[in-house]
Chains A and B, each alone.
Chain A
Amino acid sequence: MQEQMLETKSSERSESKPRRFDYTAVLDIAIGFGLFLAAWQAVFMLKYKPSYLLPSPYMVGERLVQLAQSGALETSTLITLERLAAGFSISIAIGVAVGLLMVNFKRFGRAMGSFCVGLQSYPSIAWVPFAILLVGLNNEGIIFVVVISSAFSMMLSTYSGIRNIPPIYIKAGRNMGQSRISLFKNVMLPASYPSLITGVRQTWSFAWHALIGAEILMASIGLGALLEFGANFARMDQIIAAMVMIFLIGFLVDKLLFWKIEDRIRTTRGLNVIQK
């Protein structure tokens, strides 16, 4: 009987061995992009708007190449990514630190919790005037907007992530004689990874939204500024070229970085119930 039990289990196990690269998923995504470009081209060919207001994919591609050749694209993208990295990492650091304090000091947690909920949904653009006067119309001002728009989301995720750990894990850890530090590092932290990674992803999303908004209003260089200049000089091809870059960065970071991490965590723990 036992042997039987082992048999069925081992066959089940071999199914969930490390998965190979899924080419069909990539194909589906490529088809999706292709259809979108075709639809765009079709709308362009209807001549519903003049081409300087609604350029074709090819025209936008041309503009992208021009911007790349002049070096403007690289400079803009790099400075935007730099601001993003700075703002996002500061947000994560502050968010995790304050979140942990909230877990440790119950009354602070309660007070801060409701504060966070309010501030989390506060529109990031609405911080811009405040930031311009307080910090200045400069790089730091932009990063300030990014941090203040996204840190609260990380605080909340850390706070709720740790508070929602199933008590049995902590009981088991204590039962195995773990010190407070080890309990935190080896039990509580990994137990809260699924909600922490969701929090990191949400924080990234808030930070990215805030950054582009702040760049449109506050920057003289960067992808947001590229959009703004496009509007000022009525260069729709440049506007869409910048939009494409913004889209691509968001897509790549989310899909390739966070999604991968989240998927791995979920698969390890058997949380991926719905699999193709």
Chain B
Amino acid sequence: MQKNEEEYGGAPLSAYASAGQPSSKVLEIENLRKVHVRNNGKQQEDLVVIESVNFSVNEGEFVTIIGPSGCGKSTLLNIIAGLESHNGGDIVVRGHRVPSTGPDIVMIFQEDALFPWLTVLDNVAFGLRRKGISKSERRRIAMQYIELVQLGHFADSYVHQLSGGMKQRVSIARGLSMNPRVLLMDEPFGALDYRTREILQQQIQEIHAKTKKTILFVTHDVREAVSLGDRVILLTHRPSKIKQQYVVDLPRPRSSEDPQLHGLINIIQKELKEEIKYAGTDVGNEII
């Protein structure tokens, strides 16, 4: 349970990839910068949201990102997914700069982003549409991933017939079915109740173990970040930079109530509180 920013700096990364393969960078974020232009009545105001963020993610690694509310975590993910522009820096996937949004990087949103006019099966199959595979083949692949998230009985249901947790499982299946290099998850369990969240936290760990997917997971819940991540990246308040990175070297599957996690949770929580203090305390309660 060490923490050290330098470890993840420019130098080649030491072998800590959870998948047990030789570590290789699949995603690199270099000097990323994002400025929002705010129209404040008459004059325009530049608001630096992200200030030179650098990190990389290894093949098969599960990285969680945490930071105070409004620090730009979601913006960061949107930029990586190609859904928002940035004002400097690079996003490199397997050595190639990301030109725009594409099937290499797939995002799972917090909101309900499933299409209500399609069944569960067709929602999951939708992501495979562009790859020029036949409809029956798309459905066959989609079905595998629906089984993976244990929703086989619900393949023909429409989205509104599912509970919140089931919807997010379908979203996860939809993301996975596209077989992306990196799966981005933007507070995917944020809107769920405590118990459902617990179950999904277990499931995503199982899925990660099975599929060895590279996952970048944003959350505002320290417990969630520590219990899920191989590594936790802590962002500062706005303009956000990386404050600290923590390796979570504990056996899986973990539960967020695992006593072994307490030490690290406390350390990160303390750091996070400090950031919230800087950011103004109005949002403090929401985070902890």
Contacts and interface: CB of A to CB of B under 8 A. Distances in A.
Interface of A: 1-2, 5-6, 9-10, 12-13, 16, 168-169, 171-172, 174-179, 182, 186-187, 190-191, 193, 265, 268-270
A158 B174 CA distance: 29
A186 B129 contact: yes
B159 A270 contact: yes
Contacts of A268: 116-117, 158
B159 A178 contact: no
Interface stretch (B87-95, B102-110, B234-242): B102-110
Nearest to A10: B153
A214 to B, nearest CB: 37
Contact of A175 (B83, B154, B161): B83
A273 B113 CA distance: 20
A78 B109 CA distance: 53
A2 B158 contact: no
B165 interface: yes
Given A268-B117, A270-B160, A9 B166 contact: yes
Contacts of A176: 103, 106, 126-127, 129-130, 174, 178
A1 B195 contact: yes
Interface of A is mostly: helix
B260 interface: no
B157 interface: yes
A175 B107 contact: yes
B104 to A, nearest CB: 9
B101 interface: yes
Most buried by A among B81, B114, B117, B157: B117
B199 interface: yes
How many interface residues does chain B have, given as a range?
Answer: 35 or more
Contacts of A178: 129-130
Interface in B108-134: 109, 111-118, 126-127, 129-130
B161 A191 contact: no
Contacts of A177: 101-103, 127, 130, 178
Contacts of B129: 176, 178, 182, 186
A13 B125 CA distance: 21
A1 B199 contact: yes
B206 to A, nearest CB: 12
Nearest to B177: A176
Nearest to B158: A268
Interface string B182-197: 0000000000000110
B81 to A, nearest CB: 6
The 7 closest A-B pairs by CB, nearest first: A270-B160, A172-B113, A269-B116, A177-B103, A176-B127, A190-B117, A168-B113
B111 A175 contact: no
Given A9-B161, A13-B161, A168 B199 contact: no
A170 to B, nearest CB: 10
13 contacts: A1-B195, A10-B154, A12-B161, A13-B157, A16-B161, A172-B115, A174-B101, A176-B126, A177-B178, A187-B115, A193-B117, A268-B116, A270-B160
Contact of A186 (B114, B126, B157, B165): B126
